[in-house]
Amino acid sequence: MKKFIYLFIFLPIIVLSQNTSDDTFNSGRQEVLLKEGWKFFKGDHYNFSQGSYDDKDWESVSIPHDWAIKGPFDKKYDLQQVAIFQDGEKVPTEKSGRTGALPYIGTGWYRKNITIENSLSEKKVLLQFDGAMSEAQVYINGQKVGEHPYGYAYFFFDITKFLKEGDNLLAVRLHNQPKSSRWYPGAGIYRNVHLITTNKDAFQQWGTTITTPFISQKKAEVDVTSELEGDIDQVNYIISTADGEIVSEGASSLKFGNTINTQLSVENPQLWSPESPYLYTIKLTAFRQGQAVDQIEKTFGIREIKYTAERGFELNGQQRKFKGVCLHHDLGPLGIAINRAALKRQLVMMKNMGADAIRTAHNMPSIEQMELCDELGLMVIAESFDEWKKPKVKNGYHRFFDDWAAIDVKNLVRRLKNHPSIVMWSAGNEVPDQYGSEGVKRALWLQNIFHEEDPTRPVTVGMDQVKAVMESGFGAILDIPGLNYRTHLYQEAYEKFPQGYLLGSETASTVSSRGVYKFPVKEYKKKKYSDFQSSSYDYEACPWSNIPEDDFILQDDQPWVLGEFVWTGFDYLGEPSPYNEEWPSRSSYFGICDLAGIPKDRYYLYKSRWNTEEETLHILPHWNWEGREGETTPVFVYTNYNTAELFINGVSQGKRTKDVTSRLDRYRLRWMDVKYEAGTVKVVAYDDNGQAVAEKEIKTAGQPHHLKLEADRSILSADGEDLSYVTVSVVDKEGNFCPTANIPLSFKVKGATDYKVVCNGDATSLEMFHEPTMKTFNGKLVVTLQSQDIAGKGILEVKGKGLKTAQIEIKVKEQPTL
């Protein structure tokens, strides 16, 4: 165990001339992430908060940490005998994989030593949690510092008075109740913990707000307001470009109470947008009687958002509709422990699909995810709650709503408000408070808190009880009425609500399993099969949900729809509808990508529509149907071209053209009568002048012969956290993908990378992610390697019975590569 040493450098306060900028100024502020040197115990004893308790047998862990992800999967965890009201159920039944069938319930303790080497008499020390799952109680040297129940919330404590010179014991107790979630919530200190030391005269934590109230091509106004602690009389400001060029400077001593404000101007500003996510940096230095006492730095973007009945949503004066996806907080096989590389992989995949927005369903996102959205150019609806005062699950957030909702919302906004990517707040998702007048008041109350903290962004709520919210006025008082599904009620809601627009805050919820195709090919609601999989013909949904076309039509035909947020970008742990009652089934089927992050067919349907820069020409199903010879095996093509011709073994099956008058032929090209025969499926796409412009071919594969390994990133940083995702595909002798191969594989990793996890995307698999063995699911799985903190090369070796052993090399370099 590395012992964490916290060094207090006694800082002689440097006297700076108030008008100079000085990059070398050591501000008296120090921020350390408490990652290493933690001990963890699953169990409970009040003595655990005390230094006297011996923890030498506790597990050594580093933060971020998810104590439940190593399983094992077992239906006994959080087995729920419930009727899911939101799904229209009336009679309770056994729901086995609802929260992922992983051991997240119970109490866990974390402890860590903090050594203070100098006097704290002139200092203030804050301990900040970006998220701890859940019901956190924090102790220092056996004394309770405070508590914070909501597992997704950000919070901090001033711990100065609890600390002493020398060793200090930080102890954190977490407790997860059964029936406290509708999905896998995870368990543990799964986001970063910060130890922040400042002078007593300092910028307030999360107290600086940067907005851009005026923007033109020539000039932008940057308004900066800081809340201050102690006795600060002046703040200096420097704005720099991404390349470090200073573009604006200023100073202010205009104080009202404990806030100080200024306006700066940036000439010829580069605006932030998904297409050009330009970020500026602002450095603020605080002075007390001519002495610099604190310094902070923030990134921000210059951009303007507007929502009007006339023009819908505009970013920087340009009308656009959200091409969004909802994302849950888990990272598939990594569980909920945040990892920047894993988050980036997800977001980059969504971006490449053409998405320009995400909704953080149904809670506060990680800070790292917001930083990445700023950098990559993804707009964000940052959400807060899945429950208000009325319960959805027995031990959900309703237990805390009265005491904590205002605090949690304030912390959300104060912590995230400077991220240009955030274009809307969400006060809740399908809260049962949609019914009745109390709920309307509650909605208004929460919306007002958002407004007080941030008057620049509107607030939405994802509503599923559309008839009720039309009646009660709930929908009418929201800045942005968000509809979850209920496409048949959009028109009526648009007419009844006063805003003049609607948002598809949650759409589709089509279900599919990667590489699984069922016959006959028909539209179904709540269709179940004996293998607990759903068909990738993308025609299956839940009773409340729909296939993608139903949203596309509204988006395309109704100017007053602001856009959509598809449920979901990736499969997530828990909520295995339509197999909530079947075991084993422990993760969702809703994802555009599976739990391993491998695109399902639907990825290409969205890409064909959203990514207008790249060609999409995707054929489904696969063509290995031994035993179906002569049987009807429809072929779909997802493409951005309007017309294409299909050939089976060189024989034309005719041309198809997208038909705007037909619900099912408007966005996909379909050949419904194809008879299966082994061989080649080829599609030729035509442009609107009838010229053949692109083609694609898939073949019936022979016997599995060897493995193909493809890394998403072959160079990692030597930071002990970076990840490479290696997709392993089973192929035949000629290299054709074997789409039905379910072959047990084993993995060995050597050198400068460690084996992290594996995932095959099968929602019914009970193999554990951290074990170095797993069966391929429909020919594929993904192995994740993690860099060590030394440079070098890592090698992954993959073995499977009867297959040639395969290897791939990953370089690990000193410099950042992410």
Nearest distance in Å: CB 610, ligand GAL: 21
Nearest distance in Å: CB 707, ligand GAL: 35
Nearest distance in Å: CB 118, ligand GAL: 49
Angle between helices 548-557 and 602-610 (to 10 degrees): 10
Q: Residue 278 or residue 544: which is nearer to ligand GAL going by CB?
A: 544
Measured CA to CA, the distance from residue 34 to residue 706 in angstroms comes to 44
> Which entry of 135, 430, 549, 721 is annotated as an active-site residue?
430
User: Rounded to 5 degrees, what are φ and ψ at 490?
Assistant: -55, -50
Name the residue whose CB lies closest to ligand GAL: 509
Nearest distance in Å: CB 295, ligand GAL: 42
Measured CA to CA, the distance from residue 1 to residue 18 in angstroms comes to 45
Measured in whole angstroms, the distance separating CA 264 from the mean position of its chain's CA atoms is 33
Q: Is 117 a known active-site residue?
A: no
- In sequence order, which ranges of 454-588 are alpha helices (DSSP H)? 466-472, 474-477, 490-496, 548-557
Beta-carbon count within 10 A of 728 CB: 25
DSSP H or E segment with residue 602: helix 602-610
Measured CA to CA, the distance from residue 551 to residue 563 in angstroms comes to 9
Q: Residue 462 or residue 794: which is nearer to ligand GAL going by CB?
A: 462
Q: Residue 175 or residue 362: which is nearer to ligand GAL going by CB?
A: 362
State the number of CA atoms in the 13 A half-sphere of 695 facing the CB.
13
Q: Residue 103 or residue 576: which is nearer to ligand GAL going by CB?
A: 576
Nearest distance in Å: CB 462, ligand GAL: 6
Nearest distance in Å: CB 182, ligand GAL: 6
Number of residues that this document lists for the chain: 818
Nearest distance in Å: CB 219, ligand GAL: 42
Quote helix, strand, coil % in the chain, to nearest 5. Answer: 15, 40, 45
Q: Residue 87 or residue 314: which is nearer to ligand GAL going by CB?
A: 87
Measured CA to CA, the distance from residue 404 to residue 401 in angstroms comes to 5
Least Cα distance to 150 among 179, 184, 109, 185 occurs for 185
Least Cα distance to 796 among 751, 757, 765, 766 occurs for 751
Partnered with residue 686 across adjacent β-strands are: 643, 692
Nearest distance in Å: CB 181, ligand GAL: 11
Tokens coding 395: 């031990």
Beta-carbon count within 10 A of 333 CB: 24
Nearest distance in Å: CB 484, ligand GAL: 5
Contact 537, 799 (CB under 8 A): no
DSSP H or E segment with residue 375: helix 367-376
If you write DSSP's letter for every residue of 248-299 in order, what string do you get? Answer: EEEEE--EETTEEEEEEEEESPPPB-SSSB--EEEEEEEEETTEEEEEEEEE
The contact set with ligand GAL (CB under 6 A) reads 86, 361-362, 429-430, 464, 484, 506, 509, 542, 545, 567, 575, 590
Q: Who's near 645: CB < 8 A, 6+ residues apart? A: 652, 653, 654, 655, 656, 683, 684, 686
Q: Residue 86 or residue 316: which is nearer to ligand GAL going by CB?
A: 86
State the number of CA atoms in the 13 A half-sphere of 312 facing the CB.
16
Nearest distance in Å: CB 483, ligand GAL: 11
Sign of the CA dihedral running 158, 160, 164, 166: positive
Contact 468, 501 (CB under 8 A): no
Q: Residue 545 or residue 608: which is nearer to ligand GAL going by CB?
A: 545
The three-state DSSP-derived secondary structure of 409-441 is: HHHHHHHHCCCCCEEEEEEEECCHHHCCHHHHH
Residue type, 797: E
Q: Residue 460 or residue 484: which is nearer to ligand GAL going by CB?
A: 484
Q: Residue 589 or residue 747: which is nearer to ligand GAL going by CB?
A: 589
Measured CA to CA, the distance from residue 149 to residue 131 in angstroms comes to 10
Largest CA distance in the chain: 88
Which residue's structure tokens are 């169990």?
Answer: 43
Measured in whole angstroms, the distance separating CA 620 from the mean position of its chain's CA atoms is 28
Strand boundaries in 87-122, DSSP class E: 93-95, 106-116
Nearest distance in Å: CB 461, ligand GAL: 11
Q: Residue 507 or residue 639: which is nearer to ligand GAL going by CB?
A: 507
Tokens coding 773: 């063995």
Measured CA to CA, the distance from residue 335 to residue 185 in angstroms comes to 9
Measured CA to CA, the distance from residue 99 to residue 96 in angstroms comes to 8
Q: Indicate the SS3 state at residue 227.
A: strand
Nearest distance in Å: CB 604, ligand GAL: 21
Q: Residue 65 or residue 362: which is nearer to ligand GAL going by CB?
A: 362
Q: Residue 272 or residue 567: which is nearer to ligand GAL going by CB?
A: 567
Cis geometry, peptide bond prior to residue 103 (ω within 30 degrees of 0): no
Q: Residue 429 or residue 472: which is nearer to ligand GAL going by CB?
A: 429
Contact 4, 112 (CB under 8 A): yes
> Which entry of 368, 506, 540, 645 is annotated as an active-site residue?
506
DSSP H or E segment with residue 143: strand 143-148
Q: Is 430 a known active-site residue?
A: yes
Nearest distance in Å: CB 681, ligand GAL: 32
Indicate which residues carry an active-site annotation: 430, 506
